[in-house]
Amino acid sequence: MGQLLMHCARFGCGKAIQGFVEGDWGTAAAGASDELHVPPPAALPAVTSVREALELLAEDRRLALRCIGAVDDAELFGRHVAAPWGGGERPLFLQVLHMIAHLAQHKGQLFYYLKLMGKDVSTADLWNV
């Protein structure tokens, strides 16, 4: 679970949006192979506390919002970009939307991991209601 939380905070949304908007992919450089983008499980970093996870996720959110705020509607809808892990060019807004969906998918994963571990979580926790 710590590895998944680290993935969400370090590449789940904000860093990927930064890659699409600014071209800054960090360690997941454009054209990186799947082997570089997804290292073996033993090599994956993990968060070590809930506090660390929350801080990293907050930082990722700020990065995502900064990058989205840096582009206007014309760029969001008119500029086409490709992901370094494959696939063709798509409008920037669609790539951003896919990264938000990517994070939502992992949020669901974490929810079910907690449920399977017997933690007291409910649908209200998943949907922030």
Q: Give the pLDDT of residue 38.
A: 62
> Which residues make Cβ contacts (< 8 Å) with residue 108, sequence separation at least 6?
126
User: What is the fold of 2-127?
Assistant: Four Helix Bundle (Hemerythrin (Met), subunit A) (1.20.120)
Given a cut of 90, whether residue 44 has pLDDT beyond it is: no
Dump pLDDT digits (tens) for 112-126: 999 999 999 998 888
